[in-house]
Amino acid sequence: MVSTGFLASVQNYLSEQPKLSLALTLVGGLVVAKFILKTLLVFAEIFVLPGTSLKKYGAKKGAWAVVTGASDGIGKEFSLQLAEQGFNIVLVARNAAKLNEVKDEILNNKRSSAQVDVKVHVIDFSTDDLTEYSKLGAAVQNLDVGILVNNVGRSHAMPVDFIDLDAEEMEGILKVNINANLRVTKSVLPTLLKRKNGLIINVGSFSGSTPCAMLQTYSASKQFLSSWSDALAQELKPKGIDVQLLNTYFVVSKLSKIRRPSLFIPTPHPYVKSVLSKLGVPAGAKWTGRPSTTTPYWSHAIMDWAMNNVLRSKPLEMAFNLSTQKDFRRRALRKQERERKGI
Ligand SMILES: NC(=O)c1ccc[n+]([C@@H]2O[C@H](COP(=O)([O-])OP(=O)(O)OC[C@H]3O[C@@H](n4cnc5c(N)ncnc54)[C@H](OP(=O)(O)O)[C@@H]3O)[C@@H](O)[C@H]2O)c1
């Protein structure tokens, strides 16, 4: 603790050195002014600035959006909302019946006046079968693809220490979260490049920016996506393709196992609405050295701002992540026990 005697002697010294005192006040003032200005800009990005119009990528002009993991959660919502905005949709996931239900929902959507076409493409990404990716490339090569949403993702069945992680689960996460993103992009990119203005959205996670123990493999796969997105964005910018990594905190879904929305945990509908209305708006990420990252949902963006500008401590964030995952594991084990007993 700094003693009051020490503070008093510093004050005395400064009062005898008016120039030094003025310089320190100016530096302090500049630091505070910079913080306030930065905060105002970030909050303007979060609440005021509109995103790039979807028209840039071909909305209502016959362009297609390819969405992976389109049968549920965030991917299903991307498919519905992009169709409402006038994109034809290629729905990609592993379950043909669920994908056909989404197709029917899009074609019978009363909220939408747009006349769109929908194609279903079935792939199980966990098979890691290269011929399946060639088939996807062939299926889209003659379409005018304006948007690719790399949404598919798989997490751990429950938080677990790496030593106890099931080998199949580990391989599955890598195949779905890393290989599928790279290979789908490789299959669709030639088509996307033809139109010279397109968009690739990669669905990332907060756990990709702060390592998350007990979800270590999922968390690292999202960190991979973050680095890859930044590099890809730089390569593709001169070719007219925008690449965006979505920094996503929890969203109600099968993957998160969260059923009830709250202030910080939206359902997929408002989440995707915020993504599509804030395209290209970084919401503070650029200030903290993440060039292709955006945090479109307002409460997630405020949390990201607080983590990077107020808290600024990875060890504290990691401690918070670990205690959250320990809690999730306890609850998952209790649920498993209840199910075992048939309660
Ligand atoms: N929800 C969150 O809190 C949260 C937070 C941060 C990031 N994210 C990211 O958001 C993305 C979407 O997650 P979500 O929460 O919407 O998950 P979700 O509701 O579980 O949906 C995942 C989608 O991916 C499909 N899928 C899963 N494994 C597949 C495979 N092997 N082959 C083909 N398709 C497969 C699923 O198909 P089925 O219908 O057949 O299962 C479903 O369509 C993921 O990348 C996730 O990491 C989510």
| 120, amino acid identity | V
Interval between CA 239 and ligand 1 midpoint (Å): 29
Is residue 184 pLDDT above 80, yes or no? Answer: yes
Answer yes or no: is 18 within a domain: no
Q: What per-residue confidence (pLDDT) applies to 17?
A: 81
Interval between CA 126 and ligand 1 midpoint (Å): 13
Q: Encode pLDDT of 144-163 as tens digits.
A: 999 999 999 999 999 999 99
- Give residue 1's pLDDT band: very low, low, confident or very high (50, 70, 90): low
Catalytic residues: 218
Mean pLDDT of the chain: 95
Contact present, 152 and 93 (Cβ < 8 Å): yes
Answer yes or no: is 288 within a domain: yes
The DSSP line for 271-326 is HHHHHHHSTT--TTGGGGT-TTEE--SHHHHHHHHHIIIII--HHHHHHHHHHHHH
- Give residue 13's pLDDT band: very low, low, confident or very high (50, 70, 90): confident
205 is in an annotated binding site: yes
For ligand 1, is residue 250 a contact (CB within 6 Å)?
yes
For ligand 1, is residue 309 a contact (CB within 6 Å)?
no
Answer yes or no: is 232 within a domain: yes
Atom number in ligand 1 closest to CA 250 = 3
Structural domain span for residue 214? 56-334
Q: State how many domains the chain has.
A: 1
Atom number in ligand 1 closest to CA 175 = 31
Interval between CA 153 and ligand 1 midpoint (Å): 4
Answer yes or no: is 80 within a domain: yes
Q: Which of 79, 94, 136 to mutate to test the pocket of ligand 1 (most atoms within 8 A of CB)?
A: 94
Nearest to 205 by CA among 177, 237, 235, 168: 177
- Residue nearest atom 26 in ligand 1 by C-alpha distance: 69
Q: Encode pLDDT of 54-75 as tens digits.
A: 999 999 999 999 999 999 999 9
Q: Which of 128, 152, 325 to mutate to test the pocket of ligand 1 (most atoms within 8 A of CB)?
A: 152
Q: Which of 72, 171, 328 to mutate to test the pocket of ligand 1 (most atoms within 8 A of CB)?
A: 72
Atom number in ligand 1 closest to CA 252 = 1
CATH code, domain carrying 248: 3.40.50.720
Q: What per-residue confidence (pLDDT) applies to 98?
A: 98
Answer yes or no: is 342 within a domain: no
Give percent of the chain above pLDDT 70.
Answer: 99
For ligand 1, is residue 73 a contact (CB within 6 Å)?
yes
- Helix (H) or strand (E) run with residue 118 in it: strand 118-122
Answer yes or no: is 75 within a domain: yes
| 121, amino acid identity | H
Is residue 2 pLDDT above 70, yes or no? Answer: no
Determine the number of helices (DSSP H) and then strands (DSSP E) in the chain. Answer: 11, 7
Is residue 117 pLDDT above 60, yes or no? Answer: yes
Interval between CA 152 and ligand 1 midpoint (Å): 5
Q: What per-residue confidence (pLDDT) applies to 15?
A: 81
Answer yes or no: is 50 within a domain: no
Q: Encode pLDDT of 126-142 as tens digits.
A: 999 999 999 999 999 99
Interval between CA 259 and ligand 1 midpoint (Å): 15
Answer yes or no: is 256 within a domain: yes
